[in-house]
Structure 1
Amino acid sequence: MEAVEFAELWNPEPGWLNTASYGLPPRPAWEALQAALSDWRVGATSWEPWDESTTRSRESFARLIGADAADVFVGSTVSAALAPVATALPDGAKVLTDDVEFTSNVFPWMAHADRGVEVAGVPGEELVAAIRPGIDLVAVSAVQSSTGAVLDLAAVVAASKEIGALVVIDASQALGWLPLTVDGIDVLVAHTYKWLMSPRGATLGYLSPRLQELCRPSAAGWYAAADVHSSYYGTRMELADGARRFDQSPAWFCFVGAAPALELVEQIGVETINRHNLDLANEFRAGLGMPPSNSAIVSTTLAGAQEAFAAAGIRAAVRDGKLRASFHVYTTRADVHQALAALKPLL
């Protein structure tokens, strides 16, 4: 099966090379969201049918990362999802990260500086070597937002296990095109509005059983209860077993769009999407005279590229002073050729 067999499920305007900023919804996700909005407009249903999408999203996410759904929690943002883990760190803990790590996986740790938690950032190529005794937690992205660099996850896990450090992975720029599992990982969190092509506001995360015992569900509300329907009022608290006690009350419509999008990624297959994305990204890289890479994100310094793309109707991004183009399942070779044609006068 090839990704192009599913191309008719999207309607991108030519030149969209910016999935690393946000993904485009497949038709099943778009239609499910429109139906829910129509029901909301007239009060056609209660909220429970919308919430079924939260369960579907949780289960699909678990399958995508090789986890048990009981160890998956739902939320709205990566930083909020990491907050209970940061709170569980002991005073004086040492956190190691990449020096270009997206701040949603940096600020939650730095917010505890008042109790001695220290955060050190090193260049990505030095990260594994820097995982030495004294580091309590390694917080890093599976794929870096600014550079597109793909983490050597196996090496990070191995080095962290050797010293007993926790491993926290932000998979927001990876999940949906890069095959991942949670083997050896303590926390894996991903916002779904990028490569999982869902509405912004649906975040999912894996929390290992040992961390579930260490962390306090400090944001617990009615949705984290064992029985959500009997937890609306009063002072009796009985939280759910497993990671669900770390659930934040879901933004229903975001999950209505997320469930069919995640399930479609499963149907197509992450390996298929990976092959499609890398073929196009490497064709683009070759056209710029760059060597091939293992990333669906291409980051390059090319004077005038942003203006050339804008003039040609190519939508990409500039991050950390570099042009960033990203290629996903709905990207075509015509998009690649259009982008290269726009940049050709600059080469």
Structure 2
Amino acid sequence: MAVDRLLPTPEAEDLIALTRELADKELAPRADTHEKGEIYPEGLFATLGRAGLLGLPYAEEFGGGGQPYEVYLQVLEELAARWAAVAVATSVHTLACHPVNAFGSDAQKERWLPDMLGGELIGGYSLSEPQAGSDAAALTCKAEQVTDATGALTGYRITGNKAWITHGGKADFYALFARTAPGSHGISCFLAPGAADGLSFGKPEEKMGLQAVPTTSAMWDGAVIEPDRLLGTEGQGLQIAFSALDSGRLGIAACATGLAQAALDAAVGYANERTTFGRKIVDHQGLGFLLADMAAAVDSARATYLDAARRRDLGRPFSRQASVAKLIATDAAMKVTTDAVQVLGGYGYTRDFPVERYMREAKIMQIFEGTNQIQRLVISRQLAQ
């Protein structure tokens, strides 16, 4: 069912209506077939870009939507309720645009942002490595300066392996984090091209869920990229990465909430149609209470991410609230999708109904953008200050 949203402006209401219409037409009919067949949705992200949904929280000056984060996240939730993999990839694309938007020069913004925000260029985020996931300071992928005979900088040679890249091998650019010097202050951020001599991608991971959008490793074997692809200054990489993490966590919280809402809707729909002992199963108190708990979990998840987003929009600190939202929303998604399978009984365990897919998709949301154990660490550390 359509969520009764409290939106700040009539423009935001129109945007949600547009998103629902597009998602019902372009996402919902394709999701199951593409996920089962692990088929990439060619052209779909360009469609989202043309509709203005890939640059919503960025300034209109460069082609963004100029929308507050609370509105952008609710758009993301609507997408996730139809197709979680597409919503997650949209969140990752938004995250990948952040380094250019926040740390790029005027020339870099003018050169790249319009196509990135308009969907002509789709982005991936390349921070993790095989031995460096939550510990970003442990990166080993190198970016070495290349100079000409006069000593002038002509590029950076990238060498090393990256892992867990959403849209890997499909994206047009990557926010790439690589080491330019020793120590935690020796990591830099680059706007890396999606194709280059010396860049190759591994076989897509055989994942439990989100199978229509590939997740791969990347091997940089001495590929040289232009010097103007450095974003910010050398050694500023961790600052850039961390500046986007809280916002990225809110993106995943919104995706998880949309997924949980889809599972709740499926469970309620089934419970209103299925009868046992002469009554709809929704009228049996035991099941009705289970559905009530599921609805409460979804509403709570939505409330936590909106609280954090509104703090962000007001320019107030929101790091702890972002971690709380990511923790609450993704744990809720795991619980609600599991309960949806239970509501459907044996049918829920089959691929004839989508709830088994929802359950598989929910699990990864407790892991990426910082595991929920990391979120607890962030929250506890802030409480101790």
**Structure-1-length-normalised TM-score:** 0.26
- Relative contact order, higher structure (CA 8 A, sep 6+): 1
Which has more helix, going by share of residues?
A: 2
